Amino acid sequence: DYINAGAQIITTNTFGRTREVLGTDFEELTRAAVDCALEARGRTGTEDSVIVAGSLAYHSARGPGNYDPTQDPDSWGNDMNDLVRLLKAAGVDVLLLEMVGGPTFTAPIIRAAQASRIPFWVGFSAYEETEGNALRVFDNAATPINEALPGLIRLATEGPERIFKDGGDSGADVIGAMHCKPAVLGAVLEAVQFHGWDGTMLAYPDDVQEWNPATKSGVYSKDAVDVYSTHCVTWRRDFPKCTLLGACCGFSVKHIADLYQRLRMETPDGKF
């Protein structure tokens, strides 16, 4: 449905799914998630135009103060290496780091992605505790974004021990903002650029207004599709390098369809 609505990137259902989380079903479910994405692309005949992105994330959905995995960083890093190898072998085109930003658990994902030697994209997420306060990333320490991003962007672009500083491909093709409220997403993009990224960016907001960690259920604002599309084209206008636009939690096929049509109208040459 999303591909038929105009989506050119689809993401595997592997967000936050590691060996620690899935246990003995880890390999089977991970391969199945990639197979589902590949099958969707095959059924729509879009093998040459749709990218399959393998989702990687540390977010636990247990709520504030409990975002981080319960594992120690070394064990987490081993699990990330396993997941990256499996996603690569199953056939994803790129790796997509989602809702990252906490330095302790984001750095191992970046290192695992770089070791795989396939392209990876980074989607940082942040929130305001109260309106007007500094943005913070989703980790247990609620690290301010301006403390978290410099080291992570440097690692993504220069590699461990800065091995790519003087040339070479670090693997980081796209860095941007995702799973942010529309009101703050632009500020996250600004922070990404301010802290050293000058390449292609991505942006896809979320619409979660309330979240119950016990039931894992959310309340969404149900923004009209034109409101969502206006946010997206505004980010594209304000950040010319932000060329990958999409939608996260709370949005649907109709939002993607509206954005696709909006971009077609605003770029008659079809280059969007």
pLDDT tens per residue across span 6-50: 999 999 999 989 988 899 999 999 999 999 999 999 999 999 999
DSSP string, 195-219: TT--SBEEEE---EEEEETTTTEEE
Domain assignment of residue 13, yes or no: no
Domain assignment of residue 252, yes or no: yes
Phi, psi of 73 (to 5 degrees): -55, -35
pTM of the predicted model, to two decimals? 0.91
CATH number of the domain to which 213 belongs: 3.20.20.330
Domain assignment of residue 27, yes or no: no
Domain assignment of residue 227, yes or no: yes
Domain assignment of residue 20, yes or no: no
Domain assignment of residue 224, yes or no: yes
Domain assignment of residue 50, yes or no: no
- Domain with 137, as residue range(s), is 59-266
Specify burial of residue 146 (Cβ count, 10 A radius: 0-12, 13-18, 19+): middle
Number of structural domains (the chain) is: 1
Domain assignment of residue 183, yes or no: yes
pLDDT in tens, 129-173: 776 678 999 999 999 999 999 999 999 999 998 888 877 788 899
pLDDT in tens, 172-190: 999 999 999 888 999 999 9
Rounded CA-CA distance 65/37 in Å is: 33
pLDDT in tens, 198-253: 999 999 998 755 545 555 555 555 667 888 899 999 999 999 999 999 988 878 89
